[in-house]
Amino acid sequence: MAVWLVVVSIASCEALDTRSKERSVCSVDFASVDEVFDPTGQEVVGTSLASLLPWLLPGLAEATGVDWFAAGRAALAVPARGAGGSDLATLGMVQLPPSKQWHLRRHPVHPATLSALALSLCLGALIGATAVGNALVCLSVCLVRRLRHPSNHLLVSLAASDLCVALLVMPPAMYLELSGHRWDLGRAACDAWVSMDVASCTASILNLCMISVDRYLAITRPLTYGVRRTARRAWACIAAVWLLAALISVPPLLVLGNEHGTPDSPTCLVCQHLAYQLYATLGAFYIPLAVMLFVYWRIHRAAKKVIEAEHRARPGPRSRSLRVVLRERKASITLGIILTAFTACWLPFFALALVRPLGGKPLPEVAHSFALWLGYANSALNPVIYVTFHHDFRRAFRDLLCLRCQTQASGSSTTGGGSSSGTVRQLLGSRDNHLNSLA
């Protein structure tokens, strides 16, 4: 592996004149160790970073009244001029012998390299945030006993699907972006990645849809649905979500095949058959979106009626009326955030997914990449939107981040014990918890 040293060539530097306040202009070159050291084995002379101070800090001489340029030469015995009439110093404790003439190869930083570095940092940060947020959700439910409620099983399923997106889907997608959409990992790896991509993203969207239905039933039917909501039913809903996701992701793997490009320009893209794209986009996005819009509209109406009923049952001063209005407004804002984030993240991708198979004038590849990563970003937003509105999850997150992961005793037993009036209060309390998560 080549080791590189930064070499500052002062050949083009103008003389430093502190009286006229002119600054020297230097050019920075990059040279390898093979180019810096004498090929005959002669050792080079060590020097200090101090010899570069007059050029790095040209105002230092004016501020201190000391000619640091002359002082540095005298202290280090650096010749005033190198071979060819140029000053030569190095950054990295190395000085070239003045008797040697070296050809310093320039390696300018290409703008594409900076763009790739910036893209890597941004995508890496998104992957890390997605993985950490969803891992905290899973750990919270596992470690905090009061969170092990059947209603939270769907949140764990959502976090698991988003965690799969972060760990199994986004890193290969990042590789594809940085390689210029060239896939050199083979067709088998491509098929596995595409199937995992479709399955994980579809499961995430279907989990969001199932959570909306669960919240609607918990708010509108607190007595009947509260009794029927058991761990077994929750696991059945989760199994249905992942089964539907598998049914959408499997056809390209078993029947239709994905897009692999040519041997000279291999790529990796999900199957572009129009029939499959219609089937996949309807099942993975458009139908769940319609269900969520309808359900959250009904939730908004139901929450408004419940809040108004509570206000009529407990009339109070004007301040209480104001609190009711603010609570209703906050619930509306929360529902708006949920729907806006989901639609804004995934609608561009699924719109382009229908446009691409139809042909016509192709859109720039950057548009498809932006839409894809915008959809992936929804997996990072889900823990923030669906979990941090919940007080118990917020406290569990705080404890986990502060390394206080202690299993907490359940404040109120979720088993079937107690009187019938206590059971009714528990079911109505479950409804109020869902309302509080919105408000």
* Judgement on whether residues 128 and 237 belong to the same structural domain of the protein: yes
Q: Residue 181 pLDDT more than 70?
A: yes
Q: How confident is the model at residue 362 (pLDDT cuts 50, 70, 90)?
A: confident
Q: How confident is the model at residue 376 (pLDDT cuts 50, 70, 90)?
A: very high
Which has the minimum average pLDDT: 9-13, 81-85, 249-253? 9-13
CB 68 within 8 A of CB 51: no
| Residue 330 placed within a domain | yes
Check residue 394 and give its pLDDT: 80
Mapped onto helix, strand or coil, the DSSP state of residue 80 is coil
* Judgement on whether residues 55 and 184 belong to the same structural domain of the protein: no
* Structural domains counted in the chain: 2
* Judgement on whether residues 316 and 432 belong to the same structural domain of the protein: yes
Over residues 216-240, the mean pLDDT reads 83
Over residues 110-123, the mean pLDDT reads 80
Q: Which residue has the higher pLDDT, 13 or 439?
A: 439
Q: Which residue has the higher pLDDT, 224 or 126?
A: 126
Q: Residue 232 pLDDT more than 80?
A: yes
| Residue 105 placed within a domain | no
Check residue 290 and give its pLDDT: 94
Q: Residue 285 pLDDT more than 90?
A: yes
Check residue 116 and give its pLDDT: 80
* Judgement on whether residues 124 and 84 belong to the same structural domain of the protein: no
Over residues 22-36, the mean pLDDT reads 40
End-to-end Cα separation, the chain, in angstroms: 59
* Judgement on whether residues 188 and 264 belong to the same structural domain of the protein: yes
* Judgement on whether residues 22 and 144 belong to the same structural domain of the protein: no
The b/e string for 14-24 (b: 16+ C-beta within 10 A; e otherwise) is eebebeeeeeb
| Residue 96 placed within a domain | no
Check residue 171 and give its pLDDT: 94
- CA 30 distance to own-chain centroid: 35
Q: Residue 244 pLDDT more than 60?
A: yes
* Judgement on whether residues 75 and 169 belong to the same structural domain of the protein: no
* Judgement on whether residues 159 and 35 belong to the same structural domain of the protein: no
Q: Rounded to the nearest 5°, which phi and psi values hold at 252?
A: -65, -30
Residue 323's nearest CA partner among 314, 437, 216 is: 314
Range of the domain at 209: 111-438
CB 97 within 8 A of CB 44: yes
Q: How confident is the model at residue 255 (pLDDT cuts 50, 70, 90)?
A: confident
Check residue 10 and give its pLDDT: 37
Check residue 16 and give its pLDDT: 39
Q: Rounded to the nearest 5°, which phi and psi values hold at 27?
A: -110, 140
Q: Residue 238 pLDDT more than 90?
A: yes
The b/e string for 214-237 (b: 16+ C-beta within 10 A; e otherwise) is bbbbbbbbbeebbeebeeeebeeb
Q: Which residue has the higher pLDDT, 390 or 239?
A: 239
Which has the minimum average pLDDT: 33-47, 86-100, 209-223? 33-47
| Residue 234 placed within a domain | yes
Angle between helices 318-355 and 287-313 (to 10 degrees): 180
| Mean model confidence pLDDT for the chain | 71
Q: How confident is the model at residue 346 (pLDDT cuts 50, 70, 90)?
A: very high
Check residue 246 and give its pLDDT: 94
Check residue 355 and give its pLDDT: 84
| Residue 232 placed within a domain | yes
What DSSP string runs through 227-282?
HH--HHHHHHHHHHHHHHHHHHHHHIIIII--EEE-SSSEEEE----HHHHHHHHI
Locate 82 and state its tokens. Answer: 């190198």
- CA 54 distance to own-chain centroid: 44
Q: The domain spanning residue 346 has which CATH number?
A: 1.20.1070.10
Neighbours of 139 (CB within 10 A): 15
Q: Residue 384 pLDDT more than 80?
A: yes
Check residue 383 and give its pLDDT: 87
Q: Which residue has the higher pLDDT, 277 or 54?
A: 277
Which has the minimum average pLDDT: 39-48, 162-171, 272-281, 326-335? 39-48
Q: How confident is the model at residue 438 (pLDDT cuts 50, 70, 90)?
A: low
Q: Which residue has the higher pLDDT, 420 or 62?
A: 62
| Residue 99 placed within a domain | no
> Which DSSP letter does residue 411 get?
S
Give the integer Cα–Cα distance in Å for 96 and 77.
13
- pLDDT per residue over 264-276, tens digit each? 888 888 888 888 9
Over residues 111-132, the mean pLDDT reads 87
* Judgement on whether residues 158 and 119 belong to the same structural domain of the protein: yes
Q: How confident is the model at residue 194 (pLDDT cuts 50, 70, 90)?
A: very high
* Judgement on whether residues 251 and 389 belong to the same structural domain of the protein: yes
* Judgement on whether residues 165 and 45 belong to the same structural domain of the protein: no
Q: Which residue has the higher pLDDT, 437 or 210?
A: 210
pTM: 0.66
Over residues 347-369, the mean pLDDT reads 83
* Judgement on whether residues 45 and 126 belong to the same structural domain of the protein: no
Over residues 414-439, the mean pLDDT reads 46
| Residue 98 placed within a domain | no
Question: C-alpha distances in angstroms, 290 versus 13, 210, 283, 339?
Answer: 68, 12, 11, 11
Among the candidates 90, 124, 139, a domain finishes at 90
Check residue 195 and give its pLDDT: 93
Check residue 264 and give its pLDDT: 84
Check residue 196 and give its pLDDT: 94
Q: Residue 103 pLDDT more than 70?
A: no
| Residue 100 placed within a domain | no
Q: How confident is the model at residue 67 (pLDDT cuts 50, 70, 90)?
A: low
Check residue 433 and give its pLDDT: 53
Q: Residue 87 pLDDT more than 80?
A: no
Residue 383, CB-side half-sphere exposure with 13 Å CA sphere:
27
Amino acid at 394: R
